[in-house]
Amino acid sequence: MRNLLTITMAACTLLVAPDARAQVRLLLPAPDLDGWHVDVPDADTISGLTAPFVMRDGILRITGEPRGHLISDASYRNYRLVVEYRFPGAPGNAGILVHASTPRALYAMFPKSIEVQMESGNAGDFWCIVEDLTVPDMVHRRGPRAEWGITEGKGRRIRRLVDHVEHPLGEWNRMVVTALGRSITVEVNGHLVNRGTNVTADRGQIAIQSEGAAVEIRTLELTPLGSP
């Protein structure tokens, strides 16, 4: 048993790229949002809209309106993403989308992706956005099988495993998303809250939502991992 544990731990260690700290990529945008692009569907028809994403004092401040996404220009595969965020005012909704690709694939708004929920009280839920994954106890956590789906009107939400893991309103939360091969694991404030396998995508862009609430992000760090 001890040998098996040692081998397992050694194998896990190999998943972290050599000199991982040296390879950490700080993804928070520059003040001009260099390396990212904004997609706000309402801007197609309403002139003069102010983008809801602003970098100020080293913090990405998201106003929540207009609604849309800040999307990385680059695509990523096999990584650990650390996000430190808070809702500075009222509880609200936001999310980090991983393996994002086709823009406006759902409700003419959301890019094809897997959303890792940041919404107050539900941080760590998965939402399937024209991509899919599998978790244990799917019927309990996703609802009746006949309602499952990845498009409009379908059962796309997969509830997290553990509740009461978020810090009080106004305090910073730390979310860690590990995307490795066809699996995605989510931790919130040190608690394992979700893990999905058989993900229908294993790479893509990272997107940040503006979804009706003010939210701030002070850390967005990506560490490359080795192949599974």
**pTM of the full predicted structure?**
0.90
How far apart CA 163 and CA 42 sit, in angstroms, is 35
Tens of pLDDT, residues 172-201? 999 999 999 999 999 999 999 999 999 999
Locus of tokens 């396998």: 197
What domains are defined for the chain?
Answer: 19-224 (2.60.120.560)
Q: What is the number of residues in the chain?
A: 228
How far apart CA 146 and CA 51 sit, in angstroms, is 39
pLDDT in tens, the chain (228 residues): 333 333 233 333 335 545 555 599 999 999 999 999 999 999 999 999 999 999 999 999 999 999 999 999 999 999 999 999 999 999 999 999 999 999 999 999 999 999 999 999 999 999 999 999 999 999 999 999 999 999 999 999 999 999 999 999 999 999 999 999 999 999 999 999 999 999 999 999 999 999 999 999 999 999 999 876
Tens of pLDDT, residues 131-157? 999 999 999 999 999 999 999 999 999
User: What are the DSSP E strand ranges found in 43-169?
Assistant: 53-56, 59-62, 68-72, 79-86, 95-100, 113-117, 126-129, 157-158
Determine the pLDDT at residue 227: 72
Determine the pLDDT at residue 21: 56
Determine the pLDDT at residue 191: 98
- CB 36 within 8 Å of CB 205: no
